[in-house]
A and B are shown apart, each in its own frame.
Chain A
Amino acid sequence: MSKSLKLYAGSAVGTVLMLTLAVNFADRLVPEHSDSYDRMAVENDRDFHLIARAQADEMMAARPFGLGRAALPEEIAAWDLDVSPDGTGLPVGSGDVMTGEEVFIENCAVCHGDFAEGRGNWPKLAGGEDTLADEDPLKTVGSYWPHLSTTWDYVNRSMPFGNAQSLSADDVYGIVAYILYSNYLVEDDFVLSNENFTEIVLPNADGFIIDDRAETEYPIWRTEPCMENCKDTVEITKRATVLDVTPDEETTEEALAAPAEEPVQVAAADPAPAEEAPAATPAMAIDQALADKGEKVFKKCKACHKVGDGAKNGSGPQLNGIVGRSVASADGFKYSGSMVDYGGEWTPERLAAFIAKPKGEIKGTKMSFAGLKKEGDVAAVIEYLKTFGQ
């Protein structure tokens, strides 16, 4: 069919054989036009594969439109990561609470807190038991989530925020074990693995019912509506302006005063790729290869720190021009007293010490990040930050 398919075909055939059991219906995945079919002769069960190939050809021929190509087993394995409540999809592996704690503090605690209790507006993963019927329920893995598979699946597929799919299966088992421990659901010597995974039943496993609006709501409201004399009195019981939580909207006076070309500039600037932003600061000599490496490392920081055009403070201050910037000088960010006391300028040396061990360099800093362990990572991330001017 396609060129790329032919290139894949040789290695694909071998892998198909190995993964026959592991991957759904792998025996139907043999590419339709395998140029290297002879290689299969090394396998024992030649007849089986002949039949399998014939079946696969037949299957592909049965496509109503004949569009698309066969998905290869390696491709399915790479993308089919979801894990179901019965454990379907879990890879082999294990992790204990203590190792999980280390990995969690390194990768997750910056948003979710050292004890999975959550920081600021970031999700709380622990606590809240028996609060679901309360006025303000706290919904966590321990108090609300029905299936442990969901936690494993989400951590494995989408976390850490800004650096997804960077954890090993064992690390994910460890993190999930630690989250269970933080919810007092297992002891500190617990080891979670694919073998004992489905034995864990979360407290709220039975707390869900399937949508019952068709029985509990629709019959009430599928009635002829009242048009007149529907109630005697009407009183205002709540007002939004009392709460005053509606965001201010910038006035448009500035926009009105702006020259007519401005919207055009906005339109033109929009599609510019973000990578071009660093070019704005030619003042410092940049080791681009190191900065590129730093960009990857910076994923660990991104959830809290913004850089580049229009970067705003988030959980942490924006970092434009941080190398050489006065300490605690981002407009509008509330720094800890310790950071203000630290004072002076962010020289590369001071930054390196802080990034390597934040609480060691500045005791009392609000930054809950554990620090970058590798010296190379520290240098790289500083080089990357240098590429952003004020």
Chain B
Amino acid sequence: MTSSFKGPKASRRQFLAGAAAIGAGAATGARAQSPDPLITEVQEWAQGLGEGVDATPYGMPIRFETDVVRRNVPWLTADPISSINFTPIHALDGTITPQGCAFERHHSGAIELSKDDYRLMINGLVDRPLVFTYADLERFPREQHVYFCECAANTGMEWAGAQLNGAQFTHGMIHNMEYTGVPLRTLLNEAGIQTEGKWVYVEGADASSNGRSIPMEKALDDVLVAFKANGEALRKEHGYPVRLVVPGWEGNMWVKWLRRIEVTTQAVESREETSKYTDTLADGTSRKWTWVMDAKSVVTSPSPQSPITHGPGPLVITGLAWSGHGKIKRVDVSIDGGKTWEQARLASEPGDKALSRFYLDINWDGSEMLLQSRAMDETGYVQPTKAQLRDVRGLNSVYHNNCIQTWHVKTNGEAENVEVS
């Protein structure tokens, strides 16, 4: 049991045992020492019957995958109700994040709001203040887009130094889904924007309201009022039945349980756009309205929670890259801590403001690696190092840490989150 399964941190003990067992197998090369009973003996599953249909009306992952779950870092926040957890990016592949393990961030808990009870109001500087029901929203022309949603605080704990040991914890405040919804501009046009309207203030139905101000230019561009993700209804924790999708911009603006859109002349300067989600520089002044998420990438495997268990030889290095400015142009990978770089292979045509998956297939010689990835987006922006970011911003920043991440992969295949010179 233990050798067939790589637990997470787990499983340092399990991991070592597993690596040894598999390593022993690998040492024999292409020839097995004795016939494998999994092949030579008739197995139970090859003889009896499996489950019938409808055993699980809505399917969950098979029990062998129960460690691929969101996790939180309890010491980060005072209470799990106003808190965040992390997508298990170390254990996923492809680019679409399943809703069930996509990170959650709530400011006053995930509320239960039915479609029947749902109302969306547009008011303020509009010709016709309107109220829509959920059914109304479904009658507007729809669009579909894949976008990443990254919390501005993703990797924030790493600003002062390598802190959390796992890609899930350092980079897991991100998910990437295919949204179906109505462009915000369609709804605004239905209400009729008045010429003095320069901003929209959006808020949710939960107690926090999480109100944010969005400049009109963005509101009329690509913002989506979404009600489906990855083909099915949004999950409660992601704002069922309706959330805002603000492509490329920090996750806090993706208001969940969207209930009101107010056209205004000025930014409201709410709690979430003044006291939080602002970036303090070395001299104590702070940047506000830092909405765009700059280009970033991370190697998801190997990584601390996804060590190499197979010993030297063919190794798949993989990871994710994204940019709030548009498409990823290319990703470079270094195995020597940034001395030399090699261009990785993008798994598919990069999408606009969506995650890209990259691979670098190497023949690992079993020596230590300082593994890094570096994204470049279509504007030519190259993901900076932490030192470069600190040179501009000082040491007190928290949000928008898009620095190059380093994993120290040891000869036994274990990996650790480190910072390098």
Contacts and interface: CB of A to CB of B under 8 A. Distances in A.
A41 interface: no
Contact of B55 (A63, A234, A249, A264): A264
A168 interface: no
Nearest to A252: B67
Contact of B268 (A79, A84, A133, A264): A84
Interface stretch (A193-201, A222-230, A280-288): A222-230
A209 B11 contact: no
Interface in A228-253: 228-241, 243, 245-249, 251-253
Contact of A63 (B128, B278, B282): B128
Interface in B338-365: 338-342
Nearest to B262: A80
A137 interface: yes
Given A237-B419, A239-B418, A158 B376 contact: no
B266 A84 contact: yes
Given A211-B288, A239-B162, A230 B382 contact: no
A264 B56 contact: yes
B275 A216 contact: no
Interface string A273-299: 100000000000000000000000000
A256 B5 contact: yes
A315 interface: yes
Contacts of B2: 253
A21 interface: no
Contacts of B419: 236-239
Interface string B1-25: 1100101111100100000000000
A250 B187 CA distance: 46
Contact of B7 (A123, A252, A260, A264): A252
Interface stretch (B129-137, B217-225, B226-234, B307-315): B129-137
A146 B7 contact: no
B165 A240 contact: yes
A251 B131 contact: no
Interface stretch (B30-38, B143-151, B202-210): B202-210
Contacts of B132: 67-68
Contact of A153 (B82, B108, B270, B284): B270
A238 B341 contact: no
A40 interface: no
B43 interface: no
A246 B166 contact: yes
A68 B123 contact: no
Contacts of A318: none
Interface string A41-79: 000000000000000000110111101111100011001
Contacts of A161: 81-82, 108, 207
A303 interface: yes
B129 A25 contact: yes
Contact of B288 (A164, A210, A226, A273): A210
Interface in B53-100: 55-56, 58, 60-64, 66-67, 71-75, 77-82
**Main SS of the interface on chain A?**
loop
A132 B280 contact: yes
Interface string B399-420: 0000000001000000011111
Nearest to B126: A25
A82 interface: yes
A320 B75 CA distance: 24
Size category of the B interface is: 35 or more
A79 B78 contact: no
Interface in B319-342: 332, 336-342
B243 interface: no
Nearest to A227: B341
Contacts of B382: 221-223, 225
Contact of B128 (A60, A144, A231, A232): A60
A258 B270 contact: no
Given A218-B381, A252-B10, A240 B190 contact: no
B108 A158 contact: yes
Interface string B103-140: 00001100010000000011111111111100010011
A149 interface: yes
B291 interface: yes
Contacts of B278: 208
Contact of B163 (A65, A79, A83, A240): A240
Contacts of A141: 275
Interface string A255-275: 110101011101100000100
Nearest to A157: B209
A220 interface: yes
Nearest to B203: A82
A120 B67 CA distance: 31
B366 interface: no
A133 B163 contact: no
Contacts of A236: 370, 408, 418-421
A82 B395 contact: no
17 contacts: A25-B129, A63-B191, A63-B192, A67-B190, A71-B121, A86-B266, A146-B269, A146-B274, A208-B287, A209-B286, A222-B380, A231-B339, A241-B165, A241-B416, A247-B169, A252-B7, A252-B10
Interface of A: 24-25, 28-29, 59-60, 62-65, 67-71, 75-76, 79-80, 82-86, 111, 120-123, 132-137, 139, 141, 144-147, 149-150, 153-154, 157-158, 161-162, 164-165, 207-213, 216-218, 220-223, 225-241, 243, 245-249, 251-253, 255-256, 258, 260, 262-264, 266-267, 273, 303, 314-315
